[in-house]
Amino acid sequence: MKGIVLAGGSGTRLYPLTMVTSKQLLPIYDKPMIYYPLSVLMNAGIRDILIISTPQDTPRFEALLGDGHQFGVQLTYQVQPSPDGLAQAFIIGEEFIGNDSVAMVLGDNIFFGHGLNKRLKAAVENAETGKGATVFGYYVDDPERFGIVEFDSEGKAISIEEKPEKPKSNYCVTGLYFYDNKVVEYAKNLKPSPRGELEITDLNRIYLEDGSLNVELLGQGFTWLDTGTHESLVEATNFVKTIETHQHRKIACLEEIGYLNGWIGKDQLLTDIEPLKKNQYGQYLMDVMNGKYIDK
């Protein structure tokens, strides 16, 4: 499976913070925001990843992340000339995707929870074995801001509506999507919505209507953060700091994920640590390398 991080957009809701930089390069506690969605793909076992961003921001992501070898992944980059909808990513990434299935995560989304990796890998398997698409639902208090899923009495998804005036549930579709290879053709055949965008909700509706959309609810014990406002940036930073302080483990530490997955060895990890050795991030990686933490 291939992976895409869509890190475009102008970030106007975060002005003046984002007037000269991408919001996905802003810090969430001790890491750039883009580390968090990248970690989701890596935890799903995906190593071949395309980052799509704006013409001005793409070189900044390349300067930060390079080709990804330091994390044990292969990163490539493409430009989204204008923000014409989330589903456009599959058209831009058509050549990158090739004949593979594909997962996409939005560059400003943070996911956390015990057992998440197991769910991610199940979504990969579903797409790779022809069982269709998987999206993740999450309870929100302001459903009119999102794509909302309606369920029948047996908990089966029966409709999806983008930013509804009268929401049929409080469960939104988060910014993480797993698809089979059909998604490319589906995206190419979409018609722009009234706001002129190729909507991801229209893409998901195609899978829903042919009975191949799996909606996984992230319930108690899971956290999803969409960091698109000043308030949510602070909330995300406080959340990550609290978890890392109390659990003594980092969230979205890409070097750690690559090392524990066996994608990089000790020599590469030591190289990664060198520029970080004067702070707690580098010390944490030393502890990881020395086997201080036990994963069960």
* pLDDT score of 276: 96
Determine the number of helices (DSSP H) and then strands (DSSP E) in the chain: 11, 13
* pLDDT tens digits in sequence order for the chain, 296 residues long: 999 999 998 888 999 999 999 999 999 999 999 999 999 999 999 999 999 999 999 999 999 999 999 999 999 999 999 989 999 999 999 999 999 999 999 999 999 999 999 999 999 999 999 898 999 999 999 999 899 999 998 888 999 999 999 999 999 999 999 999 999 999 999 999 998 999 999 999 999 999 999 999 999 899 999 898 999 999 999 999 999 999 999 999 999 999 999 999 999 999 999 999 999 999 999 999 999 887 75
Q: Quick check: helix, strand or coil at residue 171? A: strand
* pLDDT score of 296: 56
Q: Which of 156, 136, 133 is nearest to 146 (CA)?
A: 136
> Residue 83 burial (CB < 10 Å; 0-12/13-18/19+)?
middle
For residues 26 and 71, the answer to whether their CB atoms sit within 8 Å is: no
d(Cα 250, Cα 44) in Å, to the nearest integer? Answer: 17
Cis check for the bond before 37: say yes or no (omega within 30 of 0): no
d(Cα 46, Cα 32) in Å, to the nearest integer? Answer: 20
d(Cα 213, Cα 211) in Å, to the nearest integer? Answer: 6
* pLDDT score of 294: 76
d(Cα 60, Cα 173) in Å, to the nearest integer? Answer: 29
